[in-house]
Structure 1
């Protein structure tokens, strides 16, 4: 993922996914009703920016996943070199995007379809830094997904109505309206309770494992001399 500044991620449950970054669109057609209005300041720069490097904390004791699968892949340090080993140097050099793991694990519980997740990923890849909301056009998202722009419009409307995303209208350009900005704050808020529950369950399992190992530890016997 390309960003304007280095953004450290200190959450081991953030999954880095390689992606193919494209230049941000200079303008797009109106994105429909039910959108908020952005301030009348100039739009963010669409010039090429530096790619994001993200490092998750190292955990020497891999957690045990509730379904029995280990978490080694998520607790290891995710620096650029480690990602290149996993995905290939060229793929990571071109860019990658991070998405909280809990959103993928709980997409059904959240009520998100596979198309919704795809659109969220498409939006997330243009989220350059926390202070600059992404604004890819529906046409660009549709082209990447191989669907009609109206399909993207319908899914965006649903995600907006359910509170997962907020569409923010931008004014300007030759036609008077630019592509919408998108905030994913609602999605993050909805996913947080699931993440907190998962963390509590992980800590409970770690405590149980530590207690079980302690019980199995043999006692040291000292033989006294006569």
Structure 2
């Protein structure tokens, strides 16, 4: 995370949880790696990738865009070249992935310009992705609830029958 990125100041009740989360991440990845910053990737994005209809290039580009998205109201604007260099692919591959993500309704590209009028990197609005994940999350939660109910019923198969008989 760049030095000029605003640090998140936790609400008093959340400080303990945030400190615990950071310690856990440090144990997993090493303190040095976590101290450089980290990106939260919702499991629903990874588990729902097929449902979103995106391939590995699109997912990789999304993850790199998310790495630049620090505040909810400030959408990321890394250059295609930056993403391409990090992924070791061509800028054209990144451009195709962005077009595919836009066509899939997962992001919106917004042109950005220098003060002198020249073009600079695009801004990428990821709110469509957030919106598209909501029904996927709801379906995953419902499936988890159903699976839990089935496990519980399997553990005590006669319980329902006994309750209705009393």
- Equivalences for 1:1-226 in 2 at 5 Å? 2=1, 48-50=4-6, 79-174=21-116, 176-213=118-155
Structure 2: tracts of 5 or more residues without a match: 160-166
Query: Which 5+ residue runs of structure 1 have no aligned equivalent?
Result: 3-22, 24-46, 59-76, 218-226
- TM-score scaled by length of structure 2: 0.79
- Cα deviation, 1:129-151, whole Å, max 9, x if unaligned, reads 10111100111111111111111
**Superimposed CA distance per residue, residues 3-33 of structure 1 (whole angstroms, 9 cap, x where no aligned partner):** xxxxxxxxxxxxxxxxxxxx5xxxxxxxxxx
CA RMSD of aligned residues (A): 2.8
Structure 1-normalised TM-score?
Answer: 0.60
Please tell me whether the aligned partners of residues 52 and 95 of structure 1 are also in contact (alpha carbons under 8 angstroms). Answer: no
Q: After superposition, what is the alpha-carbon deviation per residue over 1:24-73, rounded to whole angstroms, capped at 9, x for unaligned? A: xxxxxxxxxxxxxxxxxxxxxxx632566998xx9xxxxxxxxxxxxxxx
Deviation at 1:212, TM superposition (A): 4.9
Residues 119 and 141, structure 1, Cα contact 8 Å, conserved in 2? yes
Distance, in Å, in 2 between the alignment partners of 1:96 and 1:111 is 26
Aligned length: 153
Q: Residues 178 and 50 (structure 1 numbering): CA distance in 2 closer, same or farther, change over 3 Å?
A: same
Point out which structure has higher relative CO (alpha carbons under 8 A, 6+ apart).
1
- Cα distance in 2 for partners of 1:51, 1:205 equals 39
